[in-house]
Amino acid sequence: MYCFNPFLSHINGYIGLSNNLKSLFYISMFINLNVQMIYIVRLYTVFEGRTAMAYMDGITCICDNGRTLEDHRPIVGDDVISGIYRKAASLQGKRVLHVNSTYQSGGVAEMILSLVPLMNDVGIETQWNILNGEGDFFVITKNFHNALQGQAVAFSDEEKDLYLRTNESFSGKMTIDHDLVVIHDPQPLPLIRFYQKAQPWVWRCHVDLSNPDMDLWEFLKGFVLDYDRMVISHEEYRRRGMPMEQWICRPAIDPLSEKNRDLSSREIAGLLAKYGVPTDKPLVTQISRFDKWKDPEGVIDVFSEVKRHVDCRLVLCGSMAPDDPEGWAIYRRVEEAARAFIDAGDVILITAEDHLLVNALQRASAVILQKSLREGFGLTVTEGLWKGRPVIASRVGGIPLQIEDGETGFLLDPTDTDGFAWRVRQVLENPELGKRLGQAGREHVRQHFLITRLLSDYLDMLTAELVGRNT
């Protein structure tokens, strides 16, 4: 009999059955540090009868979510769709490879999961490979992430050596014969050193680089300099001394994904009931990984102040990413800080990997928080705005790109607990204010932060790298 150990890594995927069965097997592979696998099979229903798939075939994520570019036409309009087809015309048959370190529990994986099928749909052969690591690899790369966002972290030569050896070992499992390679974040960054480079390589960094630990940056910079292009989310993330183009490409959400598609009132009620979330009080939510940069303990402080004035309930929902070994430690700290509220039923902590639940929670929320201390972009903000909900968030990273203070939401200093509490109370006590903010926020996302715009941006990049340089 197997036990669910919170320290095990966790990879989820789907295996599609026949169209007649109209169902999926949901596979979870729990992988311990010795790379032993336990397979747990659950039955899932296919959305609208479509055979959706996302499963691991060796190191490759095979994903077909059943959605095409045409499915987005009613949302974004004819001009957007026609523009994408025009851009894709000169790229037919080109082969692109994406590499990152997880295909669940985070905005990066979610974007790739939606982007890959759309790129294939418009005629670009696109593959997605997942770097796997053993032992302390993900502990080291999580500390890399923390250091890039400004935390002082010392790295030993042994840790750097393990980082390189893991990438070298992984390179032996992966053949690269594509026209362009996109490497996401620091985990697979050194892969470029272990191939005879025959195509453009792009490093897509999704984290906040405005104030990195300089020792670590100098170490990573040595690899970045081998790349042809560096892609960042914000003007403030540009780094001096980089000879290649530092191109800004803002993240985006898929409005037709399980996390963002329209839900009926019945679906919302059923999902909330399934996870034990009552609706007898206004819901305040924060959807984010249990990560110190998301400041979940600070959210508890905000809620404590709000609760003194308005009877409401807080839900903190965040799954545990396989490449984030700190998650459970942060969860336990939050649990301890909120113990009295949890016992009273006024704070609910959820760690399920369920995109429909996230969707339902956001749609049922009276207020959505994102009290991040650092944030590369903050797709949970985008998601909340898309649901037409009022979002109150920190003025950090890419969040101000999405929220115009007082127009599409509220922005505050991340340490301003009283300010956050005051804005939450304002919205709870004035539903019309929340409605106005939510409507404006949804339209802002429709215009700027949907997956079709991200696809269009990628087509621009591919054209520049594969067509423009050859003319």
Distance CA 200, CA 75 (A): 33
Band of pLDDT at residue 53, cut at 50, 70 and 90: low
- The residue from 252, 286, 311 where one domain ends is 252
Q: Is the pLDDT of residue 231 over 90?
A: yes
- Pair (193, 151) in one structural domain: yes
- Pair (238, 143) in one structural domain: yes
Question: How does pLDDT run across 85-97, given as a tens digit for each residue?
Answer: 999 999 999 999 9
pLDDT computed for residue 135 by the predictor? 66
Which range, of 32-41, 116-125, 195-204, averages the lowest pLDDT?
32-41
Question: How does pLDDT run across 138-182, given as a tens digit for each residue?
Answer: 999 999 999 998 999 999 999 999 999 999 999 999 999 999 999
Q: Is the pLDDT of residue 409 over 50?
A: yes
Asked if residue 461 is part of any domain, the answer here is: no
Asked if residue 465 is part of any domain, the answer here is: no
Give the gyration radius of the chain's Cα atoms. 22
Mean pLDDT, the chain, integer: 88
Asked if residue 84 is part of any domain, the answer here is: no
Least Cα distance to 431 among 367, 364, 359, 385 occurs for: 367
- Pair (340, 442) in one structural domain: yes
Asked if residue 258 is part of any domain, the answer here is: no
Asked if residue 404 is part of any domain, the answer here is: yes
Instruction: Say which residue, 47 or 324, is predicted with more confidence.
Output: 324
Instruction: Say which residue, 320 or 286, is predicted with more confidence.
Output: 286
Question: How does pLDDT run across 278-304, given as a tens digit for each residue?
Answer: 999 999 999 998 999 999 999 999 999
Mean pLDDT (whole number) for 412-427: 98
Least Cα distance to 417 among 371, 348, 366, 370 occurs for: 371
Q: Is the pLDDT of residue 40 over 90?
A: no
Distance CA 428, CA 22 (A): 42
Q: What percent of the chain has pLDDT over 90?
A: 79
Q: Is the pLDDT of residue 41 over 80?
A: no
Query: What's the number of domains the chain is made of?
Result: 3
- Pair (102, 218) in one structural domain: yes
CATH number at residue 362: 3.40.50.2000
- Pair (44, 64) in one structural domain: no
Q: Is the pLDDT of residue 4 over 80?
A: no
Band of pLDDT at residue 66, cut at 50, 70 and 90: confident
Please state the separation of Cα 321 from the chain's center in Å.
10
Asked if residue 311 is part of any domain, the answer here is: yes
3-state secondary structure of 458: helix
The answer to whether 352 touches 224, Cβ cutoff 8 Å, is no
Q: Is the pLDDT of residue 223 over 70?
A: yes
Asked if residue 471 is part of any domain, the answer here is: no
Which structural domain range is residue 312 located in? 265-448
The structure tokens 């113990």 sit at 339
- Pair (72, 207) in one structural domain: yes
Which range, of 23-27, 68-72, 229-233, 423-427, averages the lowest pLDDT?
23-27
Which range, of 47-51, 179-183, 391-395, 410-414, averages the lowest pLDDT?
47-51
Band of pLDDT at residue 470, cut at 50, 70 and 90: low
Q: Is the pLDDT of residue 104 over 90?
A: no
Which range, of 22-31, 176-185, 250-259, 361-370, averages the lowest pLDDT?
22-31
3-state secondary structure of 91: helix
Q: How far is CA 424 from CA 229, 301, 313, 386, in A?
A: 41, 13, 12, 19
- Pair (295, 326) in one structural domain: yes
